[in-house]
Amino acid sequence: MADWSELPRDLLDLISRKIDILRDYRQFGAVCSSWRSVAIKNPWQCQFQSFPKLVIPGEIKNSETRQCLEAIPDNKGYFSFCKSINEKASQKKLSVPHQYYCCGSNSLGWLVLINNSFEMQLFNPLSEVKFKLPSSKTLPPANEGFTRFCKYYVNKAVISSDPTYSTSSHQTIVLIIYAGAPPRLAFCKLGDESWTPIETPNRNYLDAIYYKDKFYAVYNRGGCDIIDIIDNQAAVEEYALRPPEEQYTWDLYVIESKGELYLAVRILRYDDDSDYGSDSGSGSEGDEDDNLDNEGHNDYEDNKSGNRDHHKSHEDDENDHNDGADNKSDNSDHKSHENDDDSDDDDHKHGADNDSDNDDDHNDGTDNKSDNSDPDRYPIFIDWYRTVRFRVYKLEEGEKDGIKKWTRMKSIGDNAFFVGSNSSFALQASDYFGCCKPNSIYFTDSHKPVPWIKPIRHDIGIFNLENKSVDSIFPVDFKPVRPPPFWFTPNV
């Protein structure tokens, strides 16, 4: 009988290309030296190993690891992350303690983590190398009535470079968007003891990216500012005007692909318990969305439970819509951050298998004894929400010198966008041979725990720009746990 190690190299190469699951591929490379030599030289599999993973919390609050879901084939020839909670998926553990919230990451495998003690760090879960960042307690308070910090005080973090190679002449910089009225910006360099706030126009910043040696931050109406950090000074300059058809949203993402910037606006529907694909986001709804001249600007539409006033109260707040005016809104966003220890308790009452183990998961070191059911504090509860579609724009030259504009795109071609609470990025679908669908947007939960939303499931799926359909890539019956899932891109 022939030795396995003596199989022809061409045959081994063919076998390796038929392996779709990273775990199995690693086992293939561990058989013997000849098999390993084939595994490490197969460029397609190297790309597959770097394909994004979906990271979800561990089973108990004290867990030192989280489940890292790898893509598995679906019946359409593409990949999903788990077709059913009871079905076998490609899983492994990732060394990210449950107590940490991931507020940022990059394509080099680095995460920005913050815990209940407000400690922040850059962490690589594969090498387990970490770099200390300033505590979130060094940030300014959100508003005059602000009483305490929590780990959700930082909305988003962006990393400029690989911290492993940070030098005095080329230091790694971390930019954050943190809670405020409106949300504000701050930065630090490795080794700093505190965060440096950035003086900006009065904008509701929602997302940011590091692009061409500068940071770019977008705000809730879709406009974009450049933040150029030199030494310890940050200069802010208007870069792009908002899209004319975008008036107000809390869910948008800035993405770089092949040297160009895109803006993805996420449309949510609240109090709708139908599954993905029930209306496919198409039909009359899709036709209406295509008609840009007649398109409505309400991002929270078709509220079937009569809770529309909750959203209207935000839309009627002109201060939130005025980019330059003083924002003296009701600070409901900051209430959500300040009181998320309550809301997390409530989250766990409504779903996850680890409810009993997570009662104080996000207590954040504080002792909040208030009651979320107080109608004066939280008059409206939303039982669920789901993503129904996206609008996509590409940054192009504008009519005004030096100011760009966003142009509506009906297609993103070979691109596959990945968006979520921690990062937004693009892949070329053709580079991954069926791992992801072109002209599509993969999305995870983007909302942090807030007192007025009681999620009953994860909002995780894929939106197809061609037919405007939304499909699940995660079991809809898997009830939410906190912290929310995030994308992780290994550097292999």
C-alpha–C-alpha distance, residues 128 and 106, integer Å = 15
Closest CA to 56 of 490, 474, 491: 474
B/e letters for 157-166, b = 16+ CB within 10 Å, e = fewer, are bbbbbbbeeb
Q: Is the pLDDT of residue 424 over 90?
A: yes
Q: Is the pLDDT of residue 147 over 70?
A: no
Residue that wins the pLDDT comparison between 473 and 259: 259
Mean pLDDT, residues 395-424 = 90
User: By mean pLDDT, which of 63-72, 113-122, 432-441 is the weakest?
Assistant: 63-72
Q: Tell me what the pLDDT averaged over the chain comes to.
A: 73
Mean pLDDT, residues 233-253 = 88
Q: Is the pLDDT of residue 105 over 90?
A: yes
- For residue 371, what pLDDT is reported? 38
Q: Is the pLDDT of residue 417 over 70?
A: yes
Domains of the chain, by residue range, sit at 4-45, 53-488
Residue that wins the pLDDT comparison between 485 and 77: 485
- For residue 192, what pLDDT is reported? 95
User: By mean pLDDT, which of 125-129, 286-290, 332-336, 436-440 is the weakest?
Assistant: 332-336
Fold of domain 4-45: Monooxygenase (1.20.1280)
Q: Is the pLDDT of residue 48 over 80?
A: no
Structure tokens at 11: 């045959």
- For residue 182, what pLDDT is reported? 84
- For residue 90, what pLDDT is reported? 52
Q: Is 451 exposed, middle or buried (0-12, 13-18, 19+ CB in 10 A)?
A: buried
> Is 48 within 8 Å of 435 (Cβ atoms)?
yes
- For residue 447, what pLDDT is reported? 72
Q: Is the pLDDT of residue 335 over 70?
A: no
With bands split at pLDDT 50, 70 and 90, how would you rate the model's confidence at 283?
very low
Residue that wins the pLDDT comparison between 272 and 384: 384
With bands split at pLDDT 50, 70 and 90, how would you rate the model's confidence at 310?
very low
SS3 per residue for 298-352: CCECCCCCCCHHHHHHHHCCHHHHCCCCCCCCCCHHHHHHHCHHHHHHHHHHCCC
- For residue 396, what pLDDT is reported? 92
Q: How many angstroms from the chain centroid is the CA of residue 476?
A: 18
With bands split at pLDDT 50, 70 and 90, how would you rate the model's confidence at 382?
low
pTM above threshold 0.85: no
> Is 330 within 8 Å of 321 (Cβ atoms)?
no
Mean pLDDT, residues 440-447 = 87
User: By mean pLDDT, which of 199-213, 343-357, 398-412 is the weakest?
Assistant: 343-357
- For residue 454, what pLDDT is reported? 62
Q: Which of 21-30, 267-276, 479-488 has the highest mean pLDDT?
A: 479-488
Q: Is the pLDDT of residue 377 over 90?
A: no
- For residue 395, what pLDDT is reported? 95
**Strand 53-56, strand 424-428: pairing:** unpaired
Q: Is the pLDDT of residue 140 over 90?
A: no
- For residue 352, what pLDDT is reported? 32
**β-pair partners for 417:** 426, 441
Mean pLDDT, residues 291-311 = 34
C-alpha–C-alpha distance, residues 369 and 344, integer Å = 13
